[in-house]
Chain A
Amino acid sequence: MPFLSSLLHKPVKDAKGEDVGKAADIVVSAMEKPYPLTRALVVTTRQGEMPVPWNQIDTLDAEIVLKAGLRVIEQYDKQERDIQLVADVLDMQLIDGQNAMVSRVNDVELAPTNGAYRVVGVEIGVHSFLRRLGIGPIIKNIGLRSHGFIPWEAIDVGKSDTSGIRLKVPKDVITRLHPQDVSEMAQLFEQMPADDAADLLMRMQPDDAADVLERMPTDKAEAIFEQMPSTQAREIRGLLEYSKSV
């Protein structure tokens, strides 16, 4: 499960293996709901920033390899409601339905689908903040749990008069997920590898994770449970049993 922060600054090479620049930003559409596909990768080259259409990316690992040379590739044509994940989302302010400040966005979570990625949600909270600081693994080992995941579905991307984009979480998802979001997430998680889905679910509120798993086919849910540490799996199973018995 890649984070936006881990994709940034990766070296970008063309088809011949020549260095052309570094990954700087990702373009998605604010119109696309619930989970938008990545449309273009903004590469900082010696000639400035260039948006490369996502279908021109050959492989994306430790380095990003393009399908052709930079000169051959036609630049991505920016659309009306396109947003950039680094410029408009990462480190930006999240507000709630009452316009109160919630947190800044510590990271953006992406899920692989057929050669591209979908924006799954954003991360707030201590865990992702420490990971950005570069001391995430230490915290993971002492077992600090975080519930700092907000699905993209719940975020209202609007325009604001002062700072360009306004990220609003109108529903109170910080405490509880909306039923609509639960079913959307269940569908998304079904298509994801079990270990990635398990990883995401463990960072949600246990109640919400149980709700999502409840809407998935039993075999898929079991596969995800197998990827979780036993204590967390037991806790979520307990909640599942409870909701079934009610």
Chain B
Amino acid sequence: MDRSSISNLVRSPAFVRIVVFLGVMGPGLITGLADDDAAGIATYSLAGSQFGYALLWTFIPLTIALSVIQEMGVRMGIVTGKGLAALIREKAGVRITFFIMMALLATNFGTTLAEFAGISASASILGIPNFIAMPLAVLFLTWLVVKGNYKSVERVFLFASVLYLSYIVSGFLAHPDWQTAAISTVVPQISFTRAYLLMLIGLVGTTISPWMQFYVQSSIAEKEVPSARLGYSRFDAVSGSVVSNLVAWFIVVACAATIFTHGIQVNDVVDVSQALVPLAGNYASILFAVGFLNASLFAASILPLTTSYAVCGGLGLERGVSKTLREAPVFFGLYAGTIVLSALIISLPNVPLLSILFISQVFLGILLPFVLIYMLLIINDKNVMGEHVNTRIYNYIAWATVVVTIGLSTALVITQFL
């Protein structure tokens, strides 16, 4: 390429738009991929291992629902420059805010425990003993956020996002039946067995979680994306939702092509990874374990960060990854406290992890309707959003999404008690 063609390329509108997008990109993509966390990957692998390709159709409606909800979060963050907890406090006062803060604190803590269980499990697959993996994870996660600033932390998170490609690679290594996979994705196969419905509800519950709306909005606010870049950030939010579900799709496909096809019984991610060795080769198994470690570490940072953003936002305390420990002690204290406590609890013998996850899931199910409904109330408030309130058609889609999501998450809470 000669010099003039390079300078033409650099000046071309398409090139400029890509460069602008690379600057704005981050919060949406990071939130989407962090959603494929330890619990998510466990659910997707079990869905593929137990039901083959039959549940692949759920990813299209899930992608649409997640895109709609995440887009609203991004729009609120850019237009107001505030986090969701701050907006809820201004709209609804102390009581509702306190309730939401406490429920988020509880469910995020439970989920962080699951991430540490994920770190421990994947370390053991890779042959790293727990007494080395746990302190290393705590040190790394605390150092990353306390010492880093927004930019450096975002870079690390984006790097973690790239590692999710390992799941797409292991999907290919599993040599799936592409034709069946494609048909199953567009043609819903609904069965009314109890196990199928439970898995369906579980997929929705793990894909649309309340922490995501807090995280995406707070990080957009801290990044201070100008409102002129709203279009780019919306694209970031939608692509995050698409990539998130694409990774999940590949996990289901990989497990469907191998474990389901051979009729192997699996109960957790360790089983899945071991089952992959004879079926898809050593590399697929290692890729799966590395991906799982990466996903668990990633979410073990994002979830406590979300708690910190939400609690400080609701109380109006100084917050942000770019602040120093002295400037924002509560922000970093909550973050580090959650991580240290989670690692300690997971290191104890005989931790009742299932009971903890059960309680966490119940809090999550109770929290989600409040969060989604307040989001819709705030985003339709002209005093807050000005001209950026939802259009009428968008509101139909958003309300339908919210009603269905709330219905299924309530069903999830009920199934926990059955």
Contacts and interface: CB of A to CB of B under 8 A. Distances in A.
A143 interface: no
Contacts, number: 43
Contacts of B86: 93
A106 B94 contact: yes
B327 A100 contact: yes
B316 A132 contact: no
A90 B90 CA distance: 8
A117 interface: no
Contacts of B89: 91, 104
A133 interface: yes
Contact of B318 (A92, A100, A133): A100
Nearest to A98: B327
Contact of B316 (A94, A134, A162): A94
Contacts of B318: 100-102
A132 B319 CA distance: 23
B93 interface: yes
Contacts of A93: 86, 316
Interface in B59-92: 80-82, 86, 89-90
Nearest to A102: B316
Contacts of B186: none
A162 B94 contact: no
Contact of A132 (B81, B95, B312, B317): B95
B82 A133 contact: no
Interface in B131-157: none
Interface residues on B, range: 10 to 19
Contacts of B95: 132-134
A147 to B, nearest CB: 16
Nearest to A101: B318
A133 B100 CA distance: 13
Interface in A184-220: none
Nearest to A162: B81
Contact of A91 (B81, B94, B319): B94
A129 interface: yes
Interface in B267-316: 312, 314-316
Interface string B237-269: 000000000000000000000000000000000
A104 B80 contact: no
B98 interface: yes
A100 B93 CA distance: 22
Interface string B88-111: 011001110010000000000000
A103 B94 contact: no
A101 B327 CA distance: 9
Given A91-B89, A92-B90, A162-B81, A133 B315 contact: no
Interface of A: 90-94, 100-106, 129, 132-134, 162-163
28 contacts: A90-B93, A91-B89, A91-B90, A91-B94, A93-B316, A94-B316, A100-B318, A100-B327, A101-B312, A101-B316, A101-B317, A101-B319, A102-B316, A102-B318, A104-B89, A104-B316, A105-B316, A106-B94, A129-B98, A129-B315, A132-B93, A133-B94, A133-B95, A133-B98, A134-B95, A162-B82, A163-B80, A163-B81
Interface of B: 80-82, 86, 89-90, 93-95, 98, 312, 314-319, 327
The 6 closest A-B pairs by CB, nearest first: A104-B316, A132-B94, A101-B318, A103-B316, A162-B81, A93-B316
